[in-house]
Structure 1
Amino acid sequence: MLSSHLLVCCHFDIHSMQMDSRQLKDCDIQALLEGDNSDEDIICDNSDDDPDYVLQEFQNNEDSESENEDMDQTVITNNIPANLAGASKSRNRLQQPDPRALWNEVDAIPTLDVFNDISGVTDDFQLDVNSSVLDLFSYFVDNELIDMFKQQTNLYARQKLRKMRSSESLTVKSRMNEWKTVTLVEIKNFLAIIFHQSISQRPQLIDHWSKDPTVASNYCPNVMSRNRFLLILSNFHLNDNYLFKKRGEPGHDPLHKVRPLIDNIQRRFQQAYLPGEKITIDEGMCAFRGRLQFKQYMPQKPNKYGIKLYMLSEADSGYVWNFSVFCGQSNVVINIVTNLLGSLSGAGRTLYTDRFYTSPELARELEKIGTALVGTVMKNRRGLPREWKNLILQKGEQIFRRSENLLAICWKDKRPVYMLSTRHTAQMITYQTKRGTEKTKPACVLDYNQNKAGVDLTDQLMSYGVFDHKTVKWGKKLTFHCLLMSVVNACILHNKVKGKKMSVTQFMKLLCTELPICEGDSPRQGSCGGQLGRLSTGNHFLEKNSNPSRKDKNTENVQSLLC
């Protein structure tokens, strides 16, 4: 007669197999009931001596009692011989937990690679203390890229004119009737005006050319006429629209409109500079409220609607080393982080992330490629210690668990703070605040607070000058955002190369002075980088106009000798 344990196991196995789509035949069930009962492995005893049962206490993927019951059933069916469990192999097989996921209360010093890479300005960035502001900016946006702007703008204008003429929508008063082929000098002057408008805001775009003394500006009228600027702005383009692949077609690229600029400055960012040991990854936002498939909403950002960028920056300077634009693709965090790291992995760097990225899985993947991770984490992340779910701590108290090099800390400040680190121990450090009081915090929390703001620093620097005029063309918004990112990186390198601290606003002022007047160019008469070129030489006197076009009885028409 079969033992009670065997009857229970067989009854459960038959019931579970009947639930499966691949049911057993009657002959198979009879063979099961008449099988050999001498095998002791089929007896399931959920005691503390059973190693499979003990391992289940450390399996952190279940969040409810029902899921725990399913796991217990999986243990039972897994102990049945292979010939009895063929109906549900993939579902009922016990998945052994990773031993590295076992948490303990013994602290230890992590054994990770020490930073062994070079950092700073590379040899490819052949600029020195004598280099001008324009030289630094031209490294990222060189004449070859500006020439591409010119060619694509002229191409788009010709295509637009052809389309308007064929559809008979080109009216007499249309500004496109005045279109002339744009030159390299005009593109540089156009970019200079864009940068000037970024640091000198006006209520409307045309107010930069207004004669109203309350909003008048001398810079823009002396660099380019208003109509010419608006004409170039409406036709400004970076890529041929006829080469765009529609959604669903092979080779479709959502960023086709800005792809040449993104690829160019990404390569230049990485060639010019290597960040130090501490780097950060976070999201940036290019403000845009128009219609766009991959427009994002981020309530924590100053600009809540726009195009989201994943950015990797140096922690202390904010230099953007790499970035990618989120355009609706898969949001797998590990892929995002490893793609941004690129060649920086394997050098012993430490990556600081926020709770959106941090997880035990990411920490172990980065450990494999020689990169440490420090960051805040959500308490319900898969793989964290189970006791964190209903943890109650007093202010200043902490609890930690360790799994080899991975440290998990819960520390109570005003509210619980959950941290993961592969670079720290659970040591508490006492420090003195600015007010002279002493406070105690975990070492990983102090380190995180000092180095977490790399991308936030970049956003802050970019907020000092932004082309904030409305447009329905998302490609232009993202283009000017990337150009501004290049200006910020050029300013950071300027401060590192020359050992000076220049603000981004001052850097852009000098750039607006130097960009319109380049060697070998012939800027428009009066273009002198913000000075009034027409009035900068000679003396201006008034004389009576001998041939006035319009006479006034009360006044005489007078004009300057030089005007």
Structure 2
Amino acid sequence: MDSKNEIFEELASKMNSQLSVETGNDDHDESYSRSENESDGEWETMSESEWSISDSDWSIAGDTESASDTEDEFSLSSVTPSLKDWSDEIRSAKVCPFKLKPGLKESCGKSPVDFFKLMFTRSLFEFLVNNINNYAMKIIYPNQQGRRFKEVTVNEFYVFFGLLLNIGTINTNIIDDFLKTPPIVEDSEEFMSDVRFGIILKCLNFEHELPGKNDKMCEISHMIDYFNIMMRKLVNPEKVLCIEESITVPCYEHVYLLTDEFGLAHKLVVYQYDQKPGPNVAKTLLEDKLDVGHSVYLSDVYNSLELTKFLIDRKTYVTGPIQRKRFGVLKEFKEKQLNKGEKIVKYNADGICVTKWKERREIIMISSEHSGEWKQYIDAYNQKNKKPACVLEYNKYRDSIEKHDEMMGQYYFVCGKKTRTTYKYKRLGVHILQMLMLNAYILYNKYGGKSMSLIDFRTVVVKHLLSYGKRVRV
């Protein structure tokens, strides 16, 4: 940890020497009673180089594709011969044992604050504070004569972030929680003036310029890198993973998540609104999760035969529906009309099973793990029924991404105006901060030794952040 601190201090000193601007701090009417040095040893620090990736690593195959493109990397024009050899004979799936031990990679305390600090390192807060100060000094205050800006400190940002989280808590639509639990902060003026809070919020930005990168993704890429690298560094995922688009993000970009069955988000990737989603989304999210035996469940938007073949060769199972336009190898299988309750099942030499089944409508499922044979279950009316095994397994795990969005929406707050293009990356950055908060809560409930409701977890964290300083008149 000492080496990490030395690296970061060296980088920070270089950055401050280039970007520092002298300001008058003596005219500001408030300060914070808790000293800056008091918290230096409490937060884990991480060098900026450890959670930022190179320009070549950040680029995503297909980033330049537009919505007019007709096919993606997994086009069916390049179907391999093994995918063309289909049979009615049942063939066993390849054996891909799961090699990871799910759980935390690093030791952690047992309190909610410990898990919060596990996800939010001091280095992250220092990065955000530096961005706020630079934005204020370069963009806003040079154009306003006679006004001086007091630079934001890390301790003051803790208070600001606590008040920001409190906004989502007191605006909950869960009436019972709101009536039983008084607001965490009854008077925010006790900690920070409304004017000061508004200034920091206006200057909040997540921009990090990448060498040779001129696109707008540099405004949010650093936060995406931080989220993905922190999750990879801290947690070994469960065997079951799911891929879907998050619907709670209030911006024009498409955010795709890799979650487990408990709603814990392990990775995210952002596509701009004019980029076409497809199987390449799945490959990007899974690129560092291969060869260990994961079982992946995904919708027809991201699935294809070529993707399934690619992943099973990398010891990763896939189960999910597939679009007809991506199903270009079994014409007779695709076009045959079925009656309700009928199914057709085909297998290939790789153990990949394709099932066409009709209940209320026809569904084509592909799985490299589960068969298409009938499997009994008890339905919602407590009656025995049957469905193909691959359909039952897919239905079992497909709601995990909805579980993530449901928990995010309980105490969600929006930052910025949707109609302003300049605000959309701020909204996305604040959304990522809230995802980190939710991940800390899920990890605490799994490994903290004691379960807690989300509102109680947020209450403990907000009170801790606000303890870093009260507003003192001077």
* TM-score band w.r.t. shorter chain: 0.7 to 0.9
Contact 1:103-1:401 at 8 Å conserved across structures: yes
1:407 CA drift (Å): 0.7
**Residue correspondences, number:** 383
Among 451, 454, 458, the alignment partner of 1:504 is 454
The residue type paired with residue 169 of structure 2 is I
Q: Which residue of 2 aligns with 1:154?
A: 133
Among 119, 124, 128, the alignment partner of 1:140 is 119
- 1:314-325 matched pairs, under 5 angstroms: 314=260, 316-325=261-270
The residue type paired with residue 258 of structure 2 is L
The residue type paired with residue 470 of structure 2 is P
1:372 CA drift (Å): 0.9
The residue type paired with residue 104 of structure 1 is S
Are residues 1:356 and 2:337 paired? no
- 1:174-189 matched pairs, under 5 angstroms: 177=147, 179-189=149-159
Residue 115 of structure 1 aligns to a residue in which SS? coil
Structure 2 Cα separation of the partners of residues 144 and 97 of structure 1 = 47
Pick closer, same or farther for the CA change 1:322–1:436 going to 2, 3 Å.
Answer: same
1:346 CA drift (Å): 0.4
For structure 1, which runs of at least 5 residues remain unmatched after alignment?
1-93, 165-169, 204-214, 290-294, 296-306, 527-563
Larger Rg: 1
1:348 CA drift (Å): 1.2
- What is the CA deviation profile of residues 298-324 of structure 1, one whole-angstrom value per residue up to 9, with x for unaligned ones? xxxxxxxxx21121111x211111111
The residue type paired with residue 117 of structure 1 is L
Structure 1 Cα separation of the partners of residues 155 and 313 of structure 2 = 50
Structure 1 Cα separation of the partners of residues 342 and 118 of structure 2 = 51
- 1:406-485 matched pairs, under 5 angstroms: 406-471=352-417, 472=420, 473-485=423-435
1:97 CA drift (Å): 6.5
Q: Which residue of 2 aligns with 1:254?
A: 216
Structure 1 Cα separation of the partners of residues 392 and 237 of structure 2 = 21
Contact 2:304-2:326 at 8 Å conserved across structures: yes
The residue type paired with residue 492 of structure 1 is I
Pick closer, same or farther for the CA change 1:96–1:320 going to 2, 3 Å.
Answer: closer
- 1:44-443 matched pairs, under 5 angstroms: 98-122=81-105, 124=106, 126-129=107-110, 132-161=111-140, 163-164=142-143, 170=144, 177=147, 179-201=149-171, 218-239=186-207, 243=209, 250-285=212-247, 287-288=249-250, 295=252, 307-314=253-260, 316-327=261-272, 331=276, 333-404=278-349, 405-443=351-389
Q: Which residue of 2 aligns with 1:15?
A: none
Identity of aligned pairs, percent?
23
Residue 279 of structure 1 aligns to a residue in which SS? strand
Structure 2 Cα separation of the partners of residues 452 and 281 of structure 1 = 9
- What is the CA deviation profile of residues 201-228 of structure 1, one whole-angstrom value per residue up to 9, with x for unaligned ones? 299xxxxxxxxxxx99714233211111
TM-score, length-scaled by structure 2:
0.75
The residue type paired with residue 112 of structure 1 is V
The residue type paired with residue 324 of structure 1 is V
Structure 2 Cα separation of the partners of residues 457 and 95 of structure 1 = 37
Contact 1:107-1:426 at 8 Å conserved across structures: no
Contact 1:322-1:340 at 8 Å conserved across structures: yes
1:100 CA drift (Å): 2.9
Structure 2 Cα separation of the partners of residues 373 and 400 of structure 1 = 17
For structure 2, which runs of at least 5 residues remain unmatched after alignment?
1-76, 174-182
- What is the CA deviation profile of residues 417-458 of structure 1, one whole-angstrom value per residue up to 9, with x for unaligned ones? 210001112221111124321111111111111112222221
The residue type paired with residue 121 of structure 1 is L
- Structure 1 stretch displaced more, 387-396 or 187-196: 387-396
1:178 CA drift (Å): 5.8
Structure 1 Cα separation of the partners of residues 360 and 255 of structure 2 = 31
Pick closer, same or farther for the CA change 1:340–1:287 going to 2, 3 Å.
Answer: closer
Contact 2:279-2:303 at 8 Å conserved across structures: no
Pick closer, same or farther for the CA change 1:368–1:96 going to 2, 3 Å.
Answer: closer
Residue 515 of structure 1 aligns to a residue in which SS? helix
Structure 1 Cα separation of the partners of residues 78 and 98 of structure 2 = 36
Are residues 1:515 and 2:470 paired? no
Q: Which residue of 1 aligns with 2:67?
A: none
The residue type paired with residue 463 of structure 1 is G
Contact 2:277-2:302 at 8 Å conserved across structures: no
Contact 2:244-2:256 at 8 Å conserved across structures: yes
Pick closer, same or farther for the CA change 1:270–1:95 going to 2, 3 Å.
Answer: closer
Q: Which has the higher contact order (CA 8 A, sep 6+)?
A: 2
